[in-house]
């Protein structure tokens, strides 16, 4: 069953105003594909003017979440709202612009012609020249769409998503295939859009972009919200720091075994005489290091980058789930044995 709540008019029940003020609201949303649960009780709220990165490993539910948000598929249960209405109502009203990762573009027409068509269909269109310039397409406006490179096709998709004054812009892997210059220009345009009060939601595998651009980061894992906060908060949530140093000579087996006894050790990597450690308490680990009789040179202690924190969080979640499955299987086996 699909449950998509539409807010009442002003003066309706208490809570209507707060729901309507949200750009996006998911409340306990689920979506199944056969035996696979792609979205699992997802609840989140996005606010006007936020730039939000949606992260997650393959199979985390990112694409399914975007499909539900854009009304491309119905939720099996829960509530999906966009500006207080159902997703399709918001899209018909011109409040949502979307740039999907895949999907064919019309062929045998020019870039300007397809952008002009998109502008003509939007309830609140921007001037065509402005849209072309914002997407970096002015110089290739007369080129046929089927003669474009992959990066140029992405810029056309971006132009279609920003053809009018939409309040929410949804981007799925927006800079795939773009060169460095195009990526920088793209995000400059996105910052301008957010500065005008629009909500920008983007899914990406380029975690350095999320770190540099997003006000807020959402991490999905198996259809559930694993982490929600600023990039700095996500890094802190990973609860580990990087320690790197060099020893006087190559690290032999005895020295490596000694290093593995360090307290709060999360991971250890040795390359020649260079040692790299992740620790949940860097101060205690470094203090114990000197107690081993190993004297590090060029010692550096730093926080995890967003990519490393993302990996640490998802790996920890996978380990927890695996342990839970093992424990459940053990209990099931014990119950069967007792029954016999």
Strand order in the sheet with 24-33: 36-46, 24-33, 77-82
Is 252 domain-assigned?
A: yes
Q: Do residues 161 and 20 both lie within one domain? A: yes
pTM for this entry? 0.74
Q: Do residues 293 and 169 both lie within one domain? A: no
The residue from 193, 213, 235 where one domain ends is 235
Is 7 domain-assigned?
A: no
Tokens of 107: 């062929």
Give the domain CATH number at 200. Answer: 3.40.50.300
Q: Do residues 264 and 151 both lie within one domain? A: no
Q: Do residues 148 and 262 both lie within one domain? A: no
Tokens of 321: 């789930």
- From first to last of its 340 residues, the chain has per-residue pLDDT tens of 344 433 333 333 344 444 558 999 999 999 999 999 999 999 999 999 999 999 988 889 999 999 999 999 999 999 999 999 999 999 999 999 999 876 678 888 999 999 999 999 999 999 999 999 989 999 999 999 999 998 899 899 999 999 999 999 999 988 888 888 888 888 888 888 888 889 999 998 888 888 889 999 999 999 999 999 998 888 877 777 889 999 987 788 888 999 999 998 888 999 988 999 988 888 899 999 988 888 889 999 887 778 777 777 888 777 777 766 666 666 665 555 565 5
Which residue segment(s) compose the domain that 288 sits in?
240-303
Q: Do residues 196 and 211 both lie within one domain? A: yes
Q: Do residues 218 and 250 both lie within one domain? A: no
Q: Do residues 209 and 274 both lie within one domain? A: no
Is 328 domain-assigned?
A: no
Is 160 domain-assigned?
A: yes
Q: What angle do CA 84, 229, 223 make, to 5 degrees?
A: 70
CB atoms within 10 A of CB 247: 18
């Amino acid at each position: 069953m699909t449950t998509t709540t539409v807010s009442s008019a002003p003066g309706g029940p208490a809570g209507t105003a707060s729901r309507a003020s949200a750009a996006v609201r998911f409340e306990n949303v689920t979506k199944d594909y056969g035996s696979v649960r792609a979205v699992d009780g997802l609840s989140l709220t996005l606010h006007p003017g936020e730039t939000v990165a949606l992260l997650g490993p393959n199979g985390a539910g990112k694409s399914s979440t975007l499909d539900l948000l854009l009304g491309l598929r119905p939720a099996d249960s829960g509530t999906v709202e966009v500006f207080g209405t159902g997703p399709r109502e918001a899209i018909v009203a011109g409040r949502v612009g979307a740039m999907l990762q895949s999907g064919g573009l019309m062929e045998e027409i020019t870039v300007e012609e397809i952008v002009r068509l998109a502008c003509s269909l939007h309830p609140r269109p921007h001037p065509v020249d402005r849209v072309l310039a914002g997407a970096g397409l002015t110089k290739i406006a007369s080129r046929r769409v089927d003669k474009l490179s992959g990066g140029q096709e992405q810029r056309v998709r971006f132009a279609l998503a920003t053809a009018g004054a939409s309040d929410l812009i949804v981007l799925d892997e927006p800079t795939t295939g773009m060169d460095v210059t195009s990526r920088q220009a793209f995000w400059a345009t996105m910052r301008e859009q957010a500065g005008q009060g629009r909500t920008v939601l983007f899914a990406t595998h380029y975690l350095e972009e999320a770190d540099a651009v997003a006000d807020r980061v959402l991490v999905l894992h198996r259809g559930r919200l694993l982490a929600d906060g600023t990039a700095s908060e996500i890094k802190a949530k990973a609860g580990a720091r990087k320690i790197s140093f060099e020893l006087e000579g190559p690290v032999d087996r005895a020295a490596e075994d000694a290093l593995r006894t360090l307290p709060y050790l999360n991971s250890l990597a040795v390359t020649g005489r260079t040692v790299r450690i992740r620790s949940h308490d860097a101060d205690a680990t470094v203090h114990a290091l000197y107690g081993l009789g190993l004297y590090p040179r060029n010692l550096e202690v730093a926080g995890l980058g967003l990519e490393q924190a993302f990996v640490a969080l998802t790996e920890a979640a996978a380990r927890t789930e695996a342990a839970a499955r093992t424990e459940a299987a053990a209990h099931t086996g014990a119950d069967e044995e007792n029954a016999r």
